[in-house]
Amino acid sequence: MKKITLFLFIAVSAMSLFSCKKSDDAGYTCTTCTATPEALLANNASSKGIYKGVLIGSTGTIKFDILNNGSTITAVMVIDGTTVNLTSAIAWVGGQHYIAPFTGTMNGSPVSITFDVNSDGGAPVITSASVPGHASIQFTLLKETSTALIEAFEGTYHTTLPEDGTFNILLSRAIQLWGGVARENGETENDDIDGSINGSNQLISDGNVIGTLSGDKITGSFVDGNGKTVTINGKRTL
């Protein structure tokens, strides 16, 4: 799987918390999403902790819990609305690179996803994945810290080319960065996308505003380098 490093988490002294209350402007609230980081301070510089991701090749999210607050090593993947619970029997050892297959079942068929992360929690990646019916699945992962909540948004895009596809991103309002992947419907190759979030909650990419973050929803319309109008819509799901 392609290793994607979107941005480097740095220590931040304070975090602006946001509310998940309903808003007329947002029009959508993720009622199952957390408003504060689940990751513990003790795990910020360790491979222990919480890792969140988006997947493409269909659409969905994944969350790994590596001994964050207890003795369990588990993951939960939601793909096309189906929840898949995963576990690993590989023991965690402090100060060492952690790589482990996570296994479970989906609709009675086996699922295996191999998670790989550096000893300090850096560069989390899925090195291999076997998910029934999803041969071209790919993941983007980030480590959550105690000061930087990671949110996952699933969405779609449409262009006047015309072209339609999936637009899934991870973001942190605390450090004002975002990144993820887009894929045209029916294709297997991804476009990596990333950028910053300004003080007006606008998503910026290559100096251009591509969308606005309002509560748990992202909407936007912009003209790409080929002169085509691109419209994006996304909702927070993790």
Nearest to 124 by CA among 146, 145, 98: 98
SS3 at position 104: strand
The CA distance from 181 to 55, in Å, is 8
- Res 70: pLDDT: 86
Walk along the chain (238 residues) in steps of 10 and give the mean pLDDT of each run.
35 32 61 97 97 96 96 96 97 96 97 98 97 95 98 97 96 97 94 96 95 96 93 97
**CA pair distance 52, 211, nearest whole angstrom:** 22
pLDDT value of residue 3: 36
3-state secondary structure of 128: strand
Going by DSSP bridges, is the β-strand pair 138-143/191-197 parallel, antiparallel, or unpaired?
unpaired
Nearest C-alpha neighbor of 62 from the set 135, 162, 168: 168
pLDDT of residue 193: 93
pLDDT of residue 27: 77
Q: Rounded distance, CA 230 to CA 45, Å? A: 39
